[in-house]
Structure 1
């Protein structure tokens, strides 16, 4: 409890940003609850809750590990939703998620061929979003696999480390933002108008600087960037 009080007391602004994104992700999952992959989304969402609790409690390696699981399952389910046979094999345990396949610039979630079919408005920003996605995943992996630099950072007992707590919150914010963007490029155009209404606030809050989002939402394009 002492650790939780220190973590939450020193990082209120960062925590609020993360929880705002998490609430927006929950809105997306509500809009997608009829999809076959909704069970995997909900499971990953629970993982994020566990990761947040671990980070606030000083279980730093576990916090990064579970955050990576959240990212891998959510983005993996999003990608495999466009490959029904592979998705079913994944659910039945006959196919493993491949991060390399998901992030392939030739055929992955942010490849030009994929985006041209699902969200051509986002083709111009694919490199930027893919970079954030890869960076979040890589940083989590460094904590999981005992990278020397991260191993030296971790305390040998449960004790508050503000630098690691702030890094986890930063990586979590990036992971949540990238996840919501993934859901947008895959699903937004397929949603009914009432379901679009559930998620449009999240897009305007976090991505209104992107040309693709302004085009999808019908917002003015002045002062935007790709």
Structure 2
């Protein structure tokens, strides 16, 4: 029995090391063939980190940091070739970022959510009537962003849905995934695209909810993140006092 246990432990270790080496090979391929796209994603993640640093004194900071860790796990899983796990963590990151930002406006509900007495559904926090992109919510916190509502809620919902298709065994997406840890450039490109959208939507939600409540010094710390990533939006240009191209009447 002891000899069998030792042999089984040795075989388990060899299997784990083999999987690790496959992941390492995948990391090298990703950072070589998609170097520019991957670095752009890391730059966006760094911009998000600027906001998290500014918001670290808020009561909802632990939940925001939890969502950030989920994104880090998604990035690691994608780079390692663990694609289904990458899409799962990416979806979780998006959901928790938006839920936390939304519930930060209602301390009672936020506390109930944290204590497990309240469940928040994705459809509710993104609903046109009550969610973070509702006219009422944006009207209270960032009226300048009313023109962005349809675009960004659509981006959020499409990203969430696409990640869900990879998670829940959708036949069409399951057939796209490799049956072993093997590099697939198109899958990686899709993950990068969805991860960028996750980060951009989160930055936009942060702007809506928090920017006007930040003091001058805090605003200066995050202004570059908005200008670098969202300056194509008229709302952002107005918030940052950047030139706005006049349209013909």
- Is the TM value for this pair above 0.5? yes
Equivalent of 1:197, from 220, 231, 239?
220
2: CA distance, partners of 1:6 / 1:152: 22
Distance 1:223 1:136, change over 3 A: farther
1: CA distance, partners of 2:121 / 2:210: 21
2: CA distance, partners of 1:192 / 1:33: 14
State the partner residue of 2:49. 26
Equivalent of 1:72, from 91, 95, 101?
95
Q: CA shift at 1:172, angstroms?
A: 0.2
Q: CA shift at 1:95, angstroms?
A: 1.1
- TM-score norm. by structure 2 comes to 0.88
State the partner residue of 1:61. 84
2: CA distance, partners of 1:15 / 1:160: 14
Equivalent of 1:209, from 225, 232, 239?
232
Which structure 2 residue ranges, 5 or more long, are not aligned? 1-23
Q: CA shift at 1:136, angstroms?
A: 1.0
CA deviations over 1:126-161 (Å, ceiling 9, x no partner): 100111111111111111111111110111111111
Equivalent of 2:134, from 94, 111, 114?
111
State the partner residue of 2:242. 219
State the partner residue of 1:16. 39
State the partner residue of 2:17. none
CA deviations over 1:1-58 (Å, ceiling 9, x no partner): 1111011111111111111110000000011111111001111111111110100111
Secondary structure of the residue aligned to 2:130 is: coil
Which structure 1 residue ranges, 5 or more long, are not aligned? none
2: CA distance, partners of 1:6 / 1:97: 39
State the partner residue of 2:202. 179
State the partner residue of 1:154. 177
State the partner residue of 2:107. 84
2: CA distance, partners of 1:168 / 1:153: 13
Which contiguous aligned blocks of 4+ residues in structure 1 show a shift greater than 6 angstroms? none
Aligned length: 224
State the partner residue of 2:62. 39
CA deviations over 1:78-117 (Å, ceiling 9, x no partner): 0011121110001101112211111110111001111110
Q: CA shift at 1:185, angstroms?
A: 0.3
